[in-house]
Amino acid sequence: MQTIGVLGGGQLARMLALAGAPLGMRFLVVDSVADACAAQVAPLVRADWRDFDALADFAQRVDVATFDFENVPAETAQWLAQRTQVFPNPHALAISQDRLAEKTLFQRVGLETPAFAAIDSREDLLRAVGEIGLPAILKTRRLGYDGKGQFRLKSVADVDAAWQALGGAPSILEAFVPFERELSVVAVRARDGQFRTWPLTQNWHADGILAASLAPAPDSAALASLAFAHARRIAEELDYVGTFALELFVREGRLLGNEMAPRVHNSGHWTIEGAPTSQFENHLRAVCGLPLGDTTALGVSVMLNWIGELPSALPVLAEPRAHWHDYGKSPRAGRKVGHATLRADDGAEMAQRLARVARALGRELQAAPVLAALQASA
């Protein structure tokens, strides 16, 4: 029996522990807050990322350590890697923590990106606005997620406000991409190099936060093999072990790399019920050196994210082939507190189910783009 240590005690750690229990795995979670929601299902070590006494004890008690949170300081990951096995490796974590290093890697493996420039001063920003054009997005190189640490520039008059909003932190300026759609590859690589992907997922965001996912992404066969090849090259380049997500924009039929998440990802939550092996189970299999499980899709899945507060569970519980996930968190604006996954044999059945559930939940707006995509591909 193995004990898996998880750095970060949010919903991803919680779902990892729930996926590992049938395999006989034990978990130990590190978080600085006492009410970390993973602590409801696994023992918690309460420590911050610089508490090396607590982390030394943690390293002794686990067989392998992994992440629920990608912004664990790279130095902490390196320090831990000298004391226990850490997957993904600290170098892979460091690259995906830095938007500049990440986009540079994408280009090196042949994945096109939005035009971007490194910004270290107000003068850099002014120059880059001239080169890249507007609209554009200024993003901090580090510590950004769910649209945090970002400022959208519409005119040159926004330069000062953008620079101040990000507090003068090292950043990148990116061209704003009027994309047709957003896709993600959720993939897993084992210790022996075995590589698998779940089908491409189509995603919709609201205020920079994932609102809904549909898998398999409709009409994506032509893009899938290319997207999977990019994901594989990135994973091999980083000697990556575990599950990760590669977020892509589709613009005029071409793929552009936005970012990668070095962990299980919200756009892969549908795999819990929508695939024979979930992203969580395969992540655990990968980091423990076990064979990977089947990643094909069982029909069509839609995931709806609950942000800020949960709607009533009853319409989901009353629906066949619908699954409710409450992360056990208290409500707060912008916070991911749960999700629901709906399953169906095909797009037509899904459209009916989704319309019915969304109406009962009062979530028609959230479901509307997913319904439109299902109807367009019917």
Binding site for ligand AMP (CB under 6 A): 114, 137, 144-145, 147, 174, 176-177, 182, 205, 208, 247, 258-259
Least distance (Å) between residue 258 CB and ligand AMP: 5
Q: Give the number of other Cβ atoms within 10 Å of residue 1's Cβ.
A: 7
Least distance (Å) between residue 360 CB and ligand AMP: 28
**Nearer residue to ligand AMP within complex by CB, 141 or 329:** 141
Dihedral class, residue 168 (left if φ above 0, else alpha if ψ from -120 to 50, else beta): left
**Nearer residue to ligand AMP within complex by CB, 122 or 205:** 205
Dist CA 76 CA 94 (whole Å): 11
Q: What are phi and psi of 238, to 5 degrees?
A: -95, 0
> Which helix H or strand E contains 237, and what residues bound it?
helix 221-237
**Nearer residue to ligand AMP within complex by CB, 76 or 266:** 266
Dist CA 302 CA 210 (whole Å): 13
Least distance (Å) between residue 182 CB and ligand AMP: 6
**Nearer residue to ligand AMP within complex by CB, 205 or 335:** 205
**Nearer residue to ligand AMP within complex by CB, 211 or 241:** 211
Dist CA 357 CA 375 (whole Å): 17
Least distance (Å) between residue 206 CB and ligand AMP: 9
Can you read off the two tokens belonging to residue 161? 């406000």
**Nearer residue to ligand AMP within complex by CB, 50 or 148:** 148
Under 8 Å between Cβ of 357 and 341? no
Least distance (Å) between residue 249 CB and ligand AMP: 7
**Nearer residue to ligand AMP within complex by CB, 85 or 113:** 113
Dist CA 171 CA 163 (whole Å): 9
Dist CA 5 CA 17 (whole Å): 10
Residue type, 117: A
> Which helix H or strand E contains 250, and what residues bound it?
strand 242-251
Degrees, nearest 5: CA angle 370-375-377: 100
Q: At 67, is the secondary structure helix, strand, or coil? A: strand
Dist CA 240 CA 93 (whole Å): 9
Least distance (Å) between residue 213 CB and ligand AMP: 12
**Nearer residue to ligand AMP within complex by CB, 158 or 182:** 182
Of the candidates 222, 283, 236, 250, the one whose C-alpha atom is nearest the C-alpha of residue 65 is: 283
**Nearer residue to ligand AMP within complex by CB, 147 or 369:** 147
**Nearer residue to ligand AMP within complex by CB, 205 or 321:** 205
Least distance (Å) between residue 151 CB and ligand AMP: 11
User: What per-residue string of b and e applies to 207-231 under the rule 16 or more CB within 10 Å gives b?
Assistant: eebbbbbbbbbbebeebbeebbebb
* Residues in contact with 32: Cβ distance below 8 Å, sequence separation at least 6, in sequence order: 46, 47, 48, 49
Residue nearest to ligand AMP (CB): 177
Least distance (Å) between residue 286 CB and ligand AMP: 24
Least distance (Å) between residue 139 CB and ligand AMP: 6
Least distance (Å) between residue 255 CB and ligand AMP: 14
Dist CA 25 CA 22 (whole Å): 7
